[in-house]
Structure formats: structure tokens, C-alpha cells
Amino acid sequence: MARTLLCEIVTPERVLYTNEVEMVVAPTLEGEIGILPLHVPLVTVLKPGELRVRYNDGKDVDWFAISGGYLQVHEDKVIVLADNAALASQIDVGRAREGMSKLEERMAQLKQDAAEDGILEDCERDLKWCQAQVAVAERR
């Protein structure tokens, strides 16, 4: 049996995932990072995208869409802290696409109205979350 590490994916509402895994692949601001057992301690910022965890001697993979957040590695434990995260099989693609179109309309209106940057940034963040969900769900 291969050496494992504990992976937890946590959102403000709940612990979404806890499992002994062999590898975690996460989207950072600098590109994807792979975490294996015995990885050096690390804290990094995550961008919206796809997070993968491999387990069962590499035979099984779980895919998640994440909205961004932070990843911490310490003593064979990986903790992903994200505002939003969803298992690929549980993503409602139609709902995410609908959210994308509404957000794009809202952003266009905000730009015309010269709205405050904070409101526009919130819409952009939500749009990236919707886009991540659609991308992950369609690949899986």
C-alpha cells in the first residue's frame, strides 16, 4: 500500500471532504501544484479552478471545483480552505451557466453605471466561481 496523506476540503458551511489520499493537485496563482506524502510544509493561495485528489493506489480520482482560497500542507495533512467548493458530480451545470449569464449582464450594467470597484470585483469573483464549476463538471 502506498503512503498517504490526509486531505480535508473545508468551506465556511462544512467540511466537504476528508479522506486518506496519495496525491492532491491544486490550482495556485503560479500554476498547478502537486502534493505528495512527505511534502515540505507549505501555505499557498489558490485560484478558482479544479482540485483533484488521487487515492486507492492511484486508481480513483475525485474532482472538485473550488472558488479559490488557501492550501496548507503540514505533516502529511493537506487542508484546503475555500469560500466555495463542489464535487464535480454534484455540480448543476445549467444553474452555473444561468448564473454566469446573469453575472455577465450585471457586470455590463455596472460598467455602464460606473459602479464602485468593490461591487464589480464581487461580481467578477462570483463569475469565476461559476466558470470553474462549468469547466470541472464538463470535463468529468
pLDDT at 117: 67
CA 102 – CA 28 distance, rounded (Å): 27
- Tens of pLDDT, residue by residue over 74-116, are 989 999 999 999 999 999 999 999 999 999 888 888 777 766 6
Q: What is the pTM of this model?
A: 0.86
Return the biggest CA–CA distance within the chain: 60
Confidence band for 2, pLDDT divided at 50, 70 and 90: confident
β partners of residue 52: 25, 63
- What's the rounded mean pLDDT across residues 111-138? 84
Q: What is the predicted pLDDT for the residue at 23? A: 95
pLDDT of residue 62: 94
Rounded to an integer, what distance in angstroms lies between the CA atom of residue 68 and that of residue 8? Answer: 15
Q: How would residue 5 be classed by pLDDT, with cut points 50, 70 and 90?
A: very high
Hey, is 3 helix, strand or coil? coil
| Alpha-carbon gap, residue 57 to 51, rounded angstroms | 18
Q: pLDDT (tens digit, 9 = 90+) per residue, 21-64?
A: 999 999 999 999 999 999 999 999 999 999 999 998 878 999 99
* pLDDT at residue 1 is higher than 80: no
